Amino acid sequence: MNQDRPLLQVNALKKHFPIHGGLLKRVVGQVKAVDGINLYIKRGETLGLVGESGCGKSTTGRTIIRLLEPTAGEVIFNDPELGKVHVEQLDAKELKQIRPNMQIIFQDPFSSLDPRMTVGRIVS
């Protein structure tokens, strides 16, 4: 495997949820939960996604590993065994094969962030 490749590359990832309205429950709009995220993670790096409640952090993670289907974008995972994999194109069988190598760690902010401390002090 080429060590110069990123472990994970996300290009223009979007996840929009339809808003249904009216008597016939037609789609009248969209909630743009994730709208054009790009990121690049090298092997051995750790990424922490931080933001306000409801800003799309969990939706981003769930969409990257396809617990939610992306509206648009590209997710490339360089798997040590399978090589370069376009996660957004995998079928259910292929997802099952690759998921043991991908993981999200959700963290309870009330148990990890002390509101009496500054962000700088919490990170340090």
Average pLDDT score, the chain: 87
Q: What is the CA radius of gyration of the chain?
A: 17
**If you search the block for the tokens 């800003």, which residue do you land on?**
55
Cβ atoms of 36 and 84 within 8 Å: the answer is no
Average pLDDT over residues 35-50: 91
Instruction: With H, G, I as helix, E, B as strand and everything else as coil, classify residue 103.
Output: coil
In order of their start, the domains of the chain are 8-123 (3.40.50.300)
Q: How much is the pTM?
A: 0.78
Query: What is the pLDDT at residue 69?
Result: 96
Reported as a single tens digit per residue, the pLDDT across 50-78 is 888 889 999 999 999 999 999 999 999 99
Q: What is the pLDDT of residues 85-100, one digit of tens each?
A: 999 999 999 999 888 8
Whole-angstrom distance, CA of residue 54 vs CA of residue 47: 19
In whole angstroms, give the CA distance from residue 49 to residue 57: 6
Q: What are 97-109's pLDDT values in tens digits?
A: 888 888 887 766 6
Q: Which residues contact 73 (CB under 8 A, 6 or more apart)?
A: 10, 11, 12, 13, 14, 36, 37, 88
